[in-house]
Amino acid sequence: MTPLRTRMLEELLRRNYSECTIDCYIRHVAEFAKYFGRCPTQLGPEEIKQFQLHLIQDRKVGWQTVSQAMAALRFLYVKTLGQAFMAEKIPYPKRPRHLPTVLSQDEVRRLLDATRFLKHRAILMALYGAGLRVSEVCALTIADIDSERMMVHIRNAKGQKDRDVMLSPALLETLREYWKQTKPKHWLFPGYGPDKALTTKAVFLMIRHAAARAKITKTVSPHVLRHSFATHLLEAGTDIRTIQLLLGHAGVRSTVIYLHVSQRHIQNTASPLDALVAANPTKP
């Protein structure tokens, strides 16, 4: 690692950034330097704009990757190098607003029934039953399951925040059956070897295969189960603020999007056309 990247790493650690964010930021800065074959201290706003176009036009990466790369470069120049003026010179792409994919309850049931192993079923039930992120499921330990208070403790989640979510009785029953069968020691869902955590890639692949067996045509991922959890809670009458806390969203703005995909809220909202026709009935 170059001296500059070492300085950046130390600054990220001092600010308590997550391990995942640190890895991503360092990688983006390394790619930026490699693209121009020069140290970032010799580069400026024009090169950053060129690199952004390279990511969009040549590599055709998604907006999230571009935004993350720009955030990494902003951290490098503003926080590590102390060049505050660069904050306004690093462009961010406009974030597209797409509605999340949501499974019906029948599709969730089919997905669960399509799992081949009890461990896989327990993982899917944790993703959907508690609305967890895939990284949160992979990081769960035995101690995080509080059956006395019927809570699941989520530690060091996004933003380095802890939170508690509900422990479904159905999930607890499955977890107990799973524990009796496999006896995990530390990680609730260990990966390759009892001392290693499960990887997010393994969960993605498992869900993809289960969705194919269940003949679900939608693109299914761990986050789709999280979206489905939130949407189904909303349709059952849970208020937005509670859903926000359960999901661990920093603000309610991220949670409000589920109003746009809630079947109950859409169907129960009357069109103004109906009021117009009722007040002024037309002749046949």
Out of 5, 133, 227, 232, pick the active-site residue: 133
Pseudo-torsion of CA 128, 129, 135, 141, nearest 10°? -150
| pLDDT the model gives residue 66 | 92
| pLDDT the model gives residue 75 | 95
| pLDDT the model gives residue 141 | 95
| pLDDT the model gives residue 219 | 92
3-state secondary structure of 151: strand
Task: Assess whether 258 carries a catalytic annotation.
Answer: yes
Confirm if 3 and 20 have CB atoms less than 8 A apart. Answer: no
| pLDDT the model gives residue 156 | 81
| pLDDT the model gives residue 160 | 75
Confirm if 137 and 199 have CB atoms less than 8 A apart. Answer: no
- Closest listed residue to residue 181, CA positions, set 114, 113, 112, 117: 117
| pLDDT the model gives residue 282 | 59
Phi, psi for residue 141 in degrees, rounded to 5: -115, 170
Task: Assess whether 249 carries a catalytic annotation.
Answer: yes
- Amino acid letter, 193: G
| pLDDT the model gives residue 149 | 93
Instruction: Let me know if the fold of 3-88 is the same as that of 105-266.
Output: no
Could you list the pLDDT tens digit for every one of the 284 residues in the chain?
899 999 999 999 999 888 888 999 999 999 999 999 999 999 999 999 999 999 999 998 888 899 999 999 999 999 999 999 998 888 877 777 777 889 999 999 999 999 999 999 999 999 999 999 999 999 999 999 999 999 999 988 777 788 999 999 999 999 999 999 999 999 999 998 878 899 999 999 999 999 999 999 999 999 999 999 988 988 888 888 888 888 888 777 777 777 776 766 666 666 665 665 677 765 55
Out of 119, 226, 227, 232, pick the active-site residue: 226
What residues does each domain of the chain span? 3-88, 105-266
**CATH tag, 105-266:** 1.10.443.10
Structure tokens, 39? 């140290």
| pLDDT the model gives residue 198 | 92
Alpha-helix residue ranges (DSSP H) falling in 186-239 = 200-213, 222-235
Task: Assess whether 176 carries a catalytic annotation.
Answer: no
Q: Whole-model pTM above 0.75?
A: no
Out of 79, 153, 155, 223, pick the active-site residue: 223
3-state secondary structure of 162: strand
CATH topology of domain 3-88: DNA polymerase; domain 1 (1.10.150)
Task: Assess whether 223 carries a catalytic annotation.
Answer: yes
| pLDDT the model gives residue 176 | 96
Q: Is 183 left (phi over 0), alpha (psi -120 to 50) or beta?
A: left
Out of 158, 163, 209, 265, pick the active-site residue: 158
Q: Using a CB cutoff of 8 Å and minimum separation of 24, what contacts does 271-278 make?
A: none
Task: Assess whether 97 carries a catalytic annotation.
Answer: no
